[in-house]
């Protein structure tokens, strides 16, 4: 894993996540279809094996998605160089709250004028 998380290109990271997860999900669908076909042909042991492979591919897609999202979050956190010990989510929520509060006070000022 890179030690300098600020050097990671976030757009590329998102694209990689999309490609890998999509490929795994497509393979999962293919194996599920092959499993259904095997059941229809009476090849039950093959159907079970294909269904297990599909389950594993689906599980792996979820793991890859979670791990890449975590890396993305770490890279954003490194770029923002947060100075407090609060979580990134809490700090982003604070920033959003301030923006909403500022927008509401502007609306109140306009309405009262």
pTM above 0.75, yes or no: no
- Hey, what long-range contacts does 95-101 have (CB within 8 A, 24 or more apart)? none
Least confident window among 8-12, 17-21, 74-78, 108-112? 108-112
Contacts with 74 (C-beta within 8 Å, 6 or more apart), sequence order = 5
Task: Give residue-wise pLDDT tens across range 19-71.
Answer: 999 999 999 999 999 999 999 999 999 999 999 999 999 999 999 999 998 88
Say what the pLDDT of residue 5 is.
79
Task: Let me know if 24 is exposed, middle or buried by CB neighbors in 10 A (0-12, 13-18, 19+).
Answer: buried
Cα 55 to Cα 60: distance, rounded to the nearest angstrom: 9
Contact 13, 71 (CB under 8 A): yes
Boundaries of every domain in the chain: 1-81, 83-113
């Amino acid at each position: 894993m890179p030690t300098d998380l600020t050097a990671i290109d976030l757009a590329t990271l998102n694209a990689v996540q999309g490609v890998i997860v999509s490929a795994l999900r497509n393979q999962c669908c293919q194996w599920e279809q092959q499993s259904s076909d095997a059941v229809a042909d009476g090849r039950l042991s093959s159907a079970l094996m294909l269904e297990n492979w599909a389950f594993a591919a689906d599980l792996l897609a979820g793991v890859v998605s979670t791990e890449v999202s975590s890396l993305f979050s770490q890279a954003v956190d490194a770029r923002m160089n947060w100075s407090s010990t609060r979580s990134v989510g809490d700090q982003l929520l604070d920033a959003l709250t301030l923006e909403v509060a500022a927008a509401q006070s502007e609306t109140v000022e306009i309405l009262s004028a």
